[in-house]
Structure 1
Amino acid sequence: MTYTRYVALGDSQTEGLGDGDATRGYRGWADRLAEHLARLEPGLEYANLAVRGRRAAQVRAEQLGPALALHPDLATVVAGMNDLLRRDFDATAVAASLEEMFAALTGAGAHVVTVTFPDIGRIAPLARPLRHRVLDLNTRIRAAAGRHHVAVVDTFDQAVTTDPRLWSPDRLHASPLGHERIAAAVAHALGLPDSDDAWTRPLPPLEPRKRLRVVGAEVRWLAAFAGPWVYRRLRGRSSGDGRTAKRPGLSPFTAPGSGPAGSRPG
């Protein structure tokens, strides 16, 4: 099946943080997936409604209506990480927001894909106490997806998804390689030509690090990333305050190398 109208809903991962920067523009897995689609269907139109910092209920409230108005034949819905990390996390409420989006989009004729969450405690050791939240939410996502014939990229049991090379230094956002793997995983879930399960394959082994270096890395991560994140939460602020979607409407999208320069916005 080919797709001509792709709309991405979500938070910072779908926006593309970790893959590019504010100066050059963010690419991200959704853009990379759009590139794959555009190589298959040169007439592809693509919108990315994702905004960093958004929780699942905010994605539903702010992005679902605009997404439906664009009449997509393909939509990706990835949200919930910003809920998992909060003290008031409610798996039932998060899953309900996701299911409402699944139901509305599939009911409007779109093929929908979603993604479960990896074992975040293996990415950031201080997040190990949240493992039960991830397991609970993933179970609910799979169940909701099954009720609405939504394709699922299941990351939790794939060891490669917690390889540090797939994550940015902040350990919250995928690295360029991580975004590449997510895009490949979604393409495989869709059964697109030139896609396979290579995204699950492990990277070459890393050399073991001495304990002192590991401890030092944790301290630096706390100071550079975890501390500022907690400070924003205490102030009631979000990284997405005042931000809007980078591609709020459908527009032609051409894969790099197959069209005029500048056809892939950041």
Structure 2
Amino acid sequence: MDHDSTSLIRSDAFGSYVAVGDSFTEGVGDPGPDDTFVGWADRLAVLLADRHPEHSFRYANLAVRGKLLDQIVEDQVPRAKELAPELVSFCAGGNDIIRPGSDPDDVAERFERAVADLKNSVENVLVTTGFDTRGVPVLRHLRGKVATYTAHVRAIADRYDCPVLDLWSLKSVQDRRAWDGDRLHLSAEGHTRVALRAGQVLGLRVPADPDQPWPPLPPRGALEDRRDDIQWAREYLVPWIGRRLRGESSGDHVSAKRPHLTPL
């Protein structure tokens, strides 16, 4: 669905929203108060709430960083169905795709079963594609797998009449300022742009263009880039690899930040 096709969805009908997913939907990279994260889903919830009388809109965010698709389907999807909101955003599979040896076709089959299950209980299920990773150093080599998975997600959305938050086509998040220092999660500005695009997909008149060009950057030399790469590898890449080797997840011992449908 093109983000300009607003006539098909009545955004003022979304009086309740549940976000399901991993670190992207939890909001990692967009720090909030008390060691929590904000993120695009929280920001979308604010845009949706503005369409309703004060305290009448309700929102839950079940997403937990590091979770694989099957964990999300087992832990979060039943809870989302139980809450019975008018809108669910379902973003999952990214952590599966970046694992060595993963098969995007197999991940997509499991994703589709979850979408079908959700659609039995929730009328509106917003699904999310992958990012174009050509400019992300640690994920550049996975671009083909991400593209395959993205094509599957769009086809699944067509089959189940789901609106699509198409991150592959959102060119503004290909700027390095849209990403956090770990190069794996969006920055606060990146999350903001995704929330604006999600609002467009759902028929909202958003306050800014998510694809608005970034201000020009001062020129950088190869030495600066090299220094940044070394610092990034030491601070983020080595610990990330270590967690993978130990079978640990960043989401171990983390629980959902908004497990209940409550007013914003």
TM over 0.5: yes
CA distance in 2 between counterparts of 1:207 and 1:176 reads: 21
CA distance in 1 between counterparts of 2:149 and 2:70 reads: 14
**Per-residue CA distance 1:73-115 (angstroms, 9 max, x = gap):** 1010112221122113221232123222322222223311122
Contact 2:88–2:122 (Cα < 8 Å) also in 1: no
CA distance in 1 between counterparts of 2:211 and 2:134 reads: 19
Q: CA deviation at 1:21?
A: 5.0
Q: Give the SS at the match of 1:140.
A: helix
Match of 1:30 among 34, 41, 64: 41
Q: In the alignment, which residue of structure 2 is the partner of 1:110?
A: 123
Match of 1:199 among 198, 210, 213: 210
Contact 2:131–2:168 (Cα < 8 Å) also in 1: yes
* Aligned-partner residue type, residue 86 of structure 2: D
Match of 2:165 among 153, 163, 174: 153
Farther-moved stretch of structure 1 (143-152 vs 96-105): 96-105
- The alignment status of 1:99 with 2:112, answered yes or no, reads yes
Q: CA deviation at 1:191?
A: 0.5
* Aligned-partner residue type, residue 51 of structure 2: L
CA distance in 1 between counterparts of 2:214 and 2:145 reads: 27
CA distance in 1 between counterparts of 2:71 and 2:79 reads: 13
Task: Please give the residue correspondences for 1:81-92 in structure 2 after superposition, counting only pairs within 5 Å.
Answer: 81-92=94-105
Q: CA deviation at 1:24?
A: 4.5
Q: In the alignment, which residue of structure 2 is the partner of 1:12?
A: 23
Contact 1:95–1:141 (Cα < 8 Å) also in 2: yes
Q: CA deviation at 1:157?
A: 3.2
C-alpha RMSD over aligned residues: 1.6
**Per-residue CA distance 1:155-176 (angstroms, 9 max, x = gap):** 2233212111111000111111
CA distance in 1 between counterparts of 2:127 and 2:259 reads: 20
Q: In the alignment, which residue of structure 1 is the partner of 2:77?
A: 64
CA distance in 2 between counterparts of 1:143 and 1:67 reads: 23
What number of residue pairs does the alignment pair up?
251
CA 1:222–1:22 in structure 2 vs 1: closer, same or farther (change >3 Å)? farther
Contact 1:4–1:73 (Cα < 8 Å) also in 2: yes
CA distance in 1 between counterparts of 2:43 and 2:152 reads: 27
Unaligned stretches of 5+ in structure 1? 254-266
Contact 2:30–2:39 (Cα < 8 Å) also in 1: yes
Q: CA deviation at 1:38?
A: 1.0
Q: CA deviation at 1:204?
A: 1.8
- The alignment status of 1:173 with 2:185, answered yes or no, reads yes
Q: Give the SS at the match of 2:25.
A: helix
- The alignment status of 1:137 with 2:149, answered yes or no, reads yes
Q: CA deviation at 1:48?
A: 0.5
* Aligned-partner residue type, residue 75 of structure 1: V
CA 1:190–1:120 in structure 2 vs 1: closer, same or farther (change >3 Å)? same
Percentage of matched positions with identical amino acids: 39
Contact 1:17–1:28 (Cα < 8 Å) also in 2: yes
**Per-residue CA distance 1:30-84 (angstroms, 9 max, x = gap):** 1111111111113111111100000112111111111000111101011222112
Contact 1:60–1:97 (Cα < 8 Å) also in 2: no
CA distance in 1 between counterparts of 2:130 and 2:218 reads: 26
TM-score (norm 2): 0.90
- The alignment status of 1:127 with 2:167, answered yes or no, reads no
CA distance in 2 between counterparts of 1:46 and 1:4 reads: 9
Contact 2:81–2:122 (Cα < 8 Å) also in 1: no
CA distance in 2 between counterparts of 1:21 and 1:227 reads: 26
* Aligned-partner residue type, residue 39 of structure 1: D
CA distance in 1 between counterparts of 2:84 and 2:32 reads: 30
* Aligned-partner residue type, residue 119 of structure 2: T
